[in-house]
Structure 1
């Protein structure tokens, strides 16, 4: 009983402290460890410290989202003229997303005017140079500090709280006065509250009578899916290009409002490292100006000065690059800001023992981020006018660079094949802060005529460099960097490519884009964030049927909405022509009026769904088909609302599981049931028509018993969809769900009898004429192909199968990893999409030559019937980051059309 009381007392007071009574220390003592590094600082006791407000000393507990909110609200209550809080969104789980703006009374009072002035300075098309110069001389600097984008990188949020307190309560310090007078400091204290809450719940639930610093302890080992990601298990630090998550949407809107001149993103890394800040590692985006590089270097040098003063080790340039434009620190460079990632060694809890035997605490990590935060704000204050002038000049240079491009100044999305895809991409670029126009009439430019409703983007604008980076087909890494990567491969060293190398948005959306070196003349409509895709029903009083042409996401969302409202729908496997000469593509949806007598006023419901989804629907008064299958043909299949399940929990990839679930639930507007993977071993799955296995290593988790359970379910009529690494399990000889094999790397055959295959203790000698010959003889003959960080590949699509209905003949898909599969034999199934030849396979990014040669003509989508059901294999995940939008129709077909095509459904 006594032991239980001890545990309860320790946990409640040391770990869960929620009142000032837990720590009997004064406010001055509470912050002594931090203020000791600013010995001239005295803290104003009318400003609440963390201890006074929350009951624990800063850095002594991992602050929750609720505590963070409470503390910033207390600061605003105490100093309403020097700090303002703003809510910029809400997480999926309903937690507030906020930022604070801190400055002296005058700068805070002028915040609205500051916002207008920065917006003016950010667009030289609308401001005279004399006015711009005047603003540069008078405006305060602005630094945007964003913390906690990865929920289990915990220290930065508490550092944000301490930074705010120090700036508001610190007196007698010239550095604080300088920052407050010459800056507005924007603090986004917690970018990912859902992930942080998940981490904290796990961490404190595993703590015993004392905290453990052992990396093997449960405290330091999170369960699936860990706290890094948000609710839908997205890495929010990669979402700045596709902008799919509410956290990112609000953040980008806020930065586009204030246009800060410096943006810093604070992270954590492995506990055995020290501290990282820019300059970044190679490769960097080629659109980074020299002034931005210089300003980043200035900030880094100021950080180094403070770190040296405090005896803190650090490093630069070694790991974290800024090439992919979708990072939280790379995207703001395209606004003209100077940016940097900061990474501190993580305690992954309240204390941690390094491999060198030293132990450090959570407070240590908070302190280092606090130092870096203040140093950054100080650097902006010291260099305010230079940073503002360079920011303004960036906008001028971006406009001029667009004007000087005589080949690809303007990008045009014709109003042709994928209306919904074009609209979504136009809206996305608008959300990025890009000016996008929609033609109000026919236009002729560069010898081509474009219909009204086409979209175009002129890169001669302040965000022109972002347009170039995201719309051009290829962004090249430097030759020196690529040469070094090839050298490392020759030496069997890991390459230094950190993330994807191909991300062209038109390619990922699989929309047509054309370029022109001239501006588009005429008065055209500026696309707005409030725009919606207009749905329409022609002949709404049709007597026979309503037809939805298949092939875009508007039609897909129409399908899911109609199915959930109980509307009877058919899909036709091949294109068909009605008696009125109207031609409809394969996969088109047919809603027969008399087949929906159970629906009260089906025509009104069809109209409502069309308006909500943006779909184009055509009412017809005849079912007479002159070419292709008729409505009553054997090639017409009734679509029903399938029950869809997805494997959840270890060993699935959390990113794959979450991203896939998001695409189905939020892009398709269709519910998914998550089932713990371990339950699939014996679960009765008869209630489900579709099961998705995200990427993951399933063999140990499911084993032969799980494989047999899934096989019997498929044979009974289920549709199994395997993504990425899940195909290793499906293709395993012990499982036999998929009749393909994973390939080893192609190797030049050589006689290795001298070095291998002998059971004797010694082998015959061999003389080498060169080092290269020795390396070749040392080659491992059985290894996987080289890993691809992420490229876009050209794919050919079978046009005569219902699974590819609505999918163009040529598409682009994402390829990551090292898995390459053999084609399936026709006796077992069909290869429905395959990579183009070695000279055509690469669409965008950087690809090793050996991979080009081996990937050529290998399968991209595989269909294998089994019994009454089927397996549909995607060897490469196309739901990654939810940004390969143009291939969503393939997944639509795999869920909805496939479940209708099983023998059990007929």
Structure 2
């Protein structure tokens, strides 16, 4: 039966059912494509097994786990060694091997090493002439990176991958053979194995295919949430921090192959999405080339979808701005980076009822990814030379821009914490950026610091040992995107957001507000986030130095005798974390102490060293004043390990841990201070207690907020006990001295704790406990029925200063730029996710558009061109313009530090760059210590980088970022934002640790 005949038969059956069934049931129907034929593009080679012959179930009937998928790809590779090679990229945290499968024509597979070398040469135009480049372009297949299941619960892409692999390995269809001849498909079979395994294990044991949105199978438990990896990181945001082992595995493989096209397969909006991308687009990308290729692939996919009557959308929701995505990061490397979002599967399960009563299925979601993947391969293959030439041109023009552009060089100084600077450099090296370390001092006549995006140029001398990133290199675009102070956004996009803001400011308190178009944070400058001293220069004079490289990391060889078609990379990443960097000299101890060891507390590694010593039972103390020991002064916050109070093993253990954490520890031979009143035996050197930590792990908690804390603790050697909120309410809390509530939903926290739970926490704090509240949890603590702090939120009903704040007339924002994150959705609890997800990608709704906006050109450059905002005719009497903060989409501000409190031990500077990614602005505490604040002095600029609203800086002034609120013998510490955000913000790590260490 032909497809049209099958469709007609299906429609006839549906008409019959409509007559026989009750109206509510009669409206349920499966969309066309629900029984897509995956084997219509043959003939197929008989020796290559179909996935279903190994899995024993049909496409879309069941979710495949990782081990079964490995069985499928290994069987196909062994049956088709002439077309397929399997590479092992490295292990995950849960010891699953990540695989990259290369598929191409036999003649290409036979010279796969040569093809890889050719692509490597094309990626560096400095090494070949135009004639040599053309020769390589004429004789080299185009390479495509097809990545599946970076969000583990987006299951349709996982299943589609196996069908794509089979089609390429088994089909002798002429169109498929042409793809194989002209391209190398690099299939990243599963970017997030651990998250996917959690999801499919849960769903397979629980789901029954009920399409009702309220069915339990569409609500993953908090502990399952398979979108994220083991450490609950969103791997589609991690290319900035490169903190996760999966990210490092994939980045290394990507840069080894240098592909020209990269597709990241996702789910599940209401309809399929493919490019062109929405605004904003990262300005470091060449606009004409980027738009041309996104449109070419988008139109090719549109033709295939139109032919099948499949719905889709373009240029909405999914932008190309933040460099941490797996479309933008490849794009900055020279590939055409694209996100594809299918509508079936994932949290929608086997079947899902839409708001119009139609049913979308896992199988139909698989079919759409299958068609889009093959269409992308065919489009690239038919444009092989043009795509390779533009890849070469992308690299060539990047070098030229680096030579002639205003920004020529970045300089990073090791400073007082060389470990953090080295970790930043490691991030750059993993992104393929060339870095040198100077061996002699040099001078720049036009150097700019990072105090603001418009800091003036000045002559500056730099020491030997500085890291230098010259932009006249092939990786210029990714280097500049990661390092620049501020990344500007499309002006048309900014105007549209400001117009929506102006309208929202005039609407009543209960009226629906327009959604903004921010998909993620708008500022991420690594020098600011890592808290290292850095500069950018307009000149690029010669400097003496040598290239910086990462030493290879090794792991046990799992396949000593590779199976046919299987190759292992030489140095896969280890699946665990070690603090410190191989780029810096290990720490250690100078001499053997007679009296004490002094641990300077100026590096992040020092916090790790202190925790590890405390965990092992050693007795430590901290100096609350300037300490004199070992012939010099040490600042407040310096940690002391007294020999008299510790076992003999202290000498050996502190030396070993100092080497591992990169801390220089000083051995002291006498307790007599040469100057001052404070020596190692003084009364002001007070004992530390080992933190015994409970962390809330429940529906109220942001999954990624919890994960960033978990990863940071593991990395720093801090042990903790995760508990549900019910567990915290019923636990013997006096066995612990620290309770941490990570970022989450204030309302859900209150609902889960209730009055009795709040009273339990309050009594425990008053008996000497430390309660740490992060972001949304801090809002919970400020609720009037909780009252853990005297601080109140700006603009809240309890804000006593709200009447004093004059209404501000909207004016042009000092520096518009975009962002809210997936944390907002997670903070509402896992049970709130499906409603948000049904609207589109998890973090925001597709923005409402006017008829004029619907007619935008593909480049979207004339959207709202010069037009004033279309405002409501009157402002609502209940509107409060300028009084309630609008959520900031992830911008960087400079906060002032109170250096007289233990919360800021280790911070000797006056200010600290911090991320603001919410509208949670806290009035200063009336009774506690406001340890880090945003200055009320209008002469001191706050905003450094990223998009802000016209009223943001005014409302932020005079508010607190960190508050220490005393309560009985204990205290409550509140963070207005997450100091561990995505493992990017390393500058606030010790601030977080100080909250419960001192």
Mark yes or no: TM-score above 0.5: yes
Matched, 1:589 2:639: yes
Is the partner of 1:396 in helix, strand or coil?
A: helix
TM superposition shift of 1:175: 1.4
C-alpha distance in 2, partners of 1:328/1:706?
42
Q: 1:403 to 1:786 in 2, by over 3 A?
A: same
Mapped contact 1:352–1:361 kept (Cα < 8 A): yes
Matched, 1:845 2:857: no
Structure 2 counterpart of 1:334, from 328, 332, 335: 332
- Pairwise mapping of residues 816-831 of structure 1 onto structure 2 (< 5 A)? 816-825=917-926, 828-831=927-930
Unmatched segments (≥5 aa) in structure 2: 1-33, 446-458, 505-513, 552-581, 797-801, 808-869
1:681-734 deviations in whole A, cap 9, x for unaligned?
232111212111012231000011111111111111111110001012212222
Is the partner of 1:543 in helix, strand or coil?
A: coil
C-alpha distance in 2, partners of 1:65/1:772?
54
Q: 1:560 to 1:579 in 2, by over 3 A?
A: closer
C-alpha distance in 2, partners of 1:37/1:629?
82
Which residue in the other structure is 2:164 paired with? 163
Mapped contact 1:787–1:817 kept (Cα < 8 A): yes
Which residue in the other structure is 2:688 paired with? 639
C-alpha distance in 2, partners of 1:632/1:583?
15
Q: 1:771 to 1:536 in 2, by over 3 A?
A: closer
C-alpha distance in 1, partners of 2:542/2:738?
51
Structure 2 counterpart of 1:510, from 514, 519, 531: 531
1:61-86 deviations in whole A, cap 9, x for unaligned?
21111111110011111112211111
- Pairwise mapping of residues 573-722 of structure 1 onto structure 2 (< 5 A)? 573-578=624-629, 580=631, 582-596=632-646, 598-600=647-649, 602-625=650-673, 626-627=675-676, 629-666=678-715, 668-696=716-744, 697=746, 698-722=749-773
Mapped contact 1:346–1:365 kept (Cα < 8 A): yes
Which residue in the other structure is 1:220 paired with? 218
1:778-814 deviations in whole A, cap 9, x for unaligned?
6257984212221111100001111101123211111
C-alpha distance in 1, partners of 2:404/2:806?
52
Mapped contact 2:765–2:771 kept (Cα < 8 A): yes
Mapped contact 2:85–2:103 kept (Cα < 8 A): yes
Mapped contact 1:37–1:310 kept (Cα < 8 A): no
C-alpha distance in 1, partners of 2:519/2:297?
23
Q: 1:491 to 1:88 in 2, by over 3 A?
A: same
440-449 vs 584-593, greater mean Cα deviation? 440-449
Mapped contact 2:791–2:922 kept (Cα < 8 A): yes
Matched, 1:231 2:230: yes
Structure 2 counterpart of 1:835, from 934, 949, 958: 934
Q: 1:732 to 1:442 in 2, by over 3 A?
A: same
Mapped contact 2:705–2:981 kept (Cα < 8 A): yes
Which residue in the other structure is 2:616 paired with? 565
Which residue in the other structure is 1:497 paired with? 518
Q: 1:36 to 1:564 in 2, by over 3 A?
A: closer
Matched, 1:354 2:354: yes
Is the partner of 1:238 in helix, strand or coil?
A: coil
Q: 1:85 to 1:307 in 2, by over 3 A?
A: same
Matched, 1:143 2:144: yes
808-817 vs 159-168, greater mean Cα deviation? 808-817
1:446-503 deviations in whole A, cap 9, x for unaligned?
3533333221111111111112111111111122111111111122222111110111
Which residue in the other structure is 1:526 paired with? 547
TM superposition shift of 1:749: 7.0
Which residue in the other structure is 1:258 paired with? 257
Matched, 1:795 2:904: no
Normalising by the residue count of structure 2, what TM-score does the alignment of the two structures yield? 0.81
Mapped contact 2:411–2:466 kept (Cα < 8 A): yes
Mapped contact 1:277–1:341 kept (Cα < 8 A): yes
Is the partner of 1:352 in helix, strand or coil?
A: strand
1:33-52 deviations in whole A, cap 9, x for unaligned?
434654xx222221100111
Q: 1:805 to 1:181 in 2, by over 3 A?
A: same
TM superposition shift of 1:418: 2.4
1:288-318 deviations in whole A, cap 9, x for unaligned?
2121221121111111121122221211001
Is the partner of 1:230 in helix, strand or coil?
A: coil
C-alpha distance in 2, partners of 1:312/1:185?
25
Q: 1:614 to 1:36 in 2, by over 3 A?
A: closer
804-813 vs 777-786, greater mean Cα deviation? 777-786
Mapped contact 2:38–2:163 kept (Cα < 8 A): no
C-alpha distance in 1, partners of 2:639/2:546?
32
586-595 vs 79-88, greater mean Cα deviation? 586-595
Which residue in the other structure is 1:755 paired with? none
Which residue in the other structure is 2:992 paired with? 891
Unmatched segments (≥5 aa) in structure 1: 1-30, 751-769, 898-906
C-alpha distance in 2, partners of 1:545/1:778?
64
- Pairwise mapping of residues 749-768 of structure 1 onto structure 2 (< 5 A)? none
C-alpha distance in 1, partners of 2:983/2:275?
29
State the structure with bigger RCO (CA 8 A, min sep 6), 1 or 2. Answer: 2
C-alpha distance in 1, partners of 2:881/2:985?
35
Mapped contact 1:242–1:428 kept (Cα < 8 A): yes
C-alpha distance in 2, partners of 1:127/1:629?
65
C-alpha distance in 2, partners of 1:175/1:836?
64
TM superposition shift of 1:649: 1.4
- Pairwise mapping of residues 280-319 of structure 1 onto structure 2 (< 5 A)? 280-289=277-286, 290-319=288-317
C-alpha distance in 2, partners of 1:393/1:450?
34
Is the partner of 1:34 in helix, strand or coil?
A: coil
Q: 1:885 to 1:579 in 2, by over 3 A?
A: closer
TM superposition shift of 1:134: 1.3
Is the partner of 2:951 in helix, strand or coil?
A: helix
RMSD across aligned positions (CA): 2.1
Is the partner of 1:42 in helix, strand or coil?
A: coil
Which residue in the other structure is 1:8 paired with? none
Which residue in the other structure is 1:388 paired with? 388
C-alpha distance in 1, partners of 2:524/2:379?
33
Matched, 1:154 2:155: yes
Mapped contact 2:883–2:955 kept (Cα < 8 A): no
Is the partner of 2:281 in helix, strand or coil?
A: coil
Is the partner of 2:659 in helix, strand or coil?
A: helix
Structure 2 counterpart of 1:34, from 24, 32, 37: 37
Q: 1:128 to 1:107 in 2, by over 3 A?
A: same
- Pairwise mapping of residues 12-91 of structure 1 onto structure 2 (< 5 A)? 33-35=36-38, 38=41, 41-91=42-92
Q: 1:579 to 1:261 in 2, by over 3 A?
A: closer
C-alpha distance in 2, partners of 1:359/1:184?
36
TM superposition shift of 1:545: 2.5
Q: 1:51 to 1:556 in 2, by over 3 A?
A: same
C-alpha distance in 2, partners of 1:482/1:113?
46
TM superposition shift of 1:417: 2.6
C-alpha distance in 2, partners of 1:642/1:362?
47
Is the partner of 1:97 in helix, strand or coil?
A: strand
Is the partner of 1:184 in helix, strand or coil?
A: strand
Matched, 1:730 2:742: no
Which residue in the other structure is 1:901 paired with? none
C-alpha distance in 1, partners of 2:537/2:892?
24
Q: How many residues align?
A: 835
C-alpha distance in 1, partners of 2:781/2:234?
27
Is the partner of 1:236 in helix, strand or coil?
A: coil
Q: 1:663 to 1:107 in 2, by over 3 A?
A: same
C-alpha distance in 2, partners of 1:538/1:442?
29
Is the partner of 2:790 in helix, strand or coil?
A: coil
Which residue in the other structure is 1:756 paired with? none
Is the partner of 2:85 in helix, strand or coil?
A: strand
TM superposition shift of 1:612: 1.2
